[in-house]
Amino acid sequence: DQQVKQNSPSLSVQEGRISILNCDYTNSMFDYFLWYKKYPAEGPTFLISISSIKDKNEDGRFTVFLNKSAKHLSLHIVPSQPGDSAVYFCAASWRNNAGNMLTFGGGTRLMVKP
Amino acid sequence: ETGVTQTPRHLVMGMTNKKSLKCEQHLGHNAMYWYKQSAKKPLELMFVYNFKEQTENNSVPSRFSPECPNSSHLFLHLHTLQPEDSALYLCASSQATGLSGNTIYFGEGSWLTVV
């Protein structure tokens, strides 16, 4: 059973507009959430994160919102640029016997059209 | 450049071959990971090493054998793989698995094709 879900496999946005990528999770033990960006033929690169004690974290054009009651987080990119076109993975961190582990969603492919 | 280097970037191997994937991190981290990404599937955690000790084996078949000689190097030894093992294998590292807010950093991946 997937504990982190990205229900939209793809999203298309016009350059300059806002991109909103969504992520839902089921495990209330997750205490830290991250977004990664992945270009084809490359590994994922860390983008932005948020602790479960916060509801918003902003870094330049990227803002992550966390709604714990809804077990939902979202990544906002504004304004969107063609170079933002990539696959975005949501990840959630929780602690088990081995330490803090990350569970990833299936990814959303963002296409920003010029 | 992410600080995590994987070699080879591409590998084609037969089902009876033995090959190894190599990963090296230059970030001073103490935890290293192998992830697998198959087409249309989420990233799957395979193995975790924390301070050179394996702390997680996510029910991975024994035809995949990890080795972590030190905190900077991680290997994945491959033997008698199946075509369905063809995937992108990603190495990652982080400060240590016990830290809260553990951000992991990925290498560029090794594309494996089993024929």
> pLDDT grade, residue B99 (50/70/90)?
low
Average pLDDT over residues B28-53: 87
Please indicate whether, in this complex, the C-beta atoms of B111 and A41 are within 8 angstroms of each other: yes
Q: Is residue B31's pLDDT more than 70?
A: yes
Average pLDDT over residues A16-27: 96
Residues of B within 8 A of A101 (CB-CB) are 45, 48, 56, 97
| Structural contact between residues B90 and A44, judged by C-beta atoms closer than 8 angstroms | yes
CA distance to partner chain B, nearest, from residue A80 (Å)? 24
Strands A108-113 and A10-14: parallel
Average pLDDT over residues B24-29: 93
Both tokens of A75, joined, read 């990544």
Average pLDDT over residues B16-41: 91
Average pLDDT over residues B79-85: 93
Residue predicted with more confidence, A103 or B6: B6
Instruction: Work out the burial of residue B44: count CB atoms within 10 Å of its CB; fewer than 13 is exposed, 13-18 middle, 19 or more buried.
Output: middle
Note the pLDDT of residue B13: 93
Max Cα-Cα span within chain B: 42
Q: Is residue B60's pLDDT more than 70?
A: yes
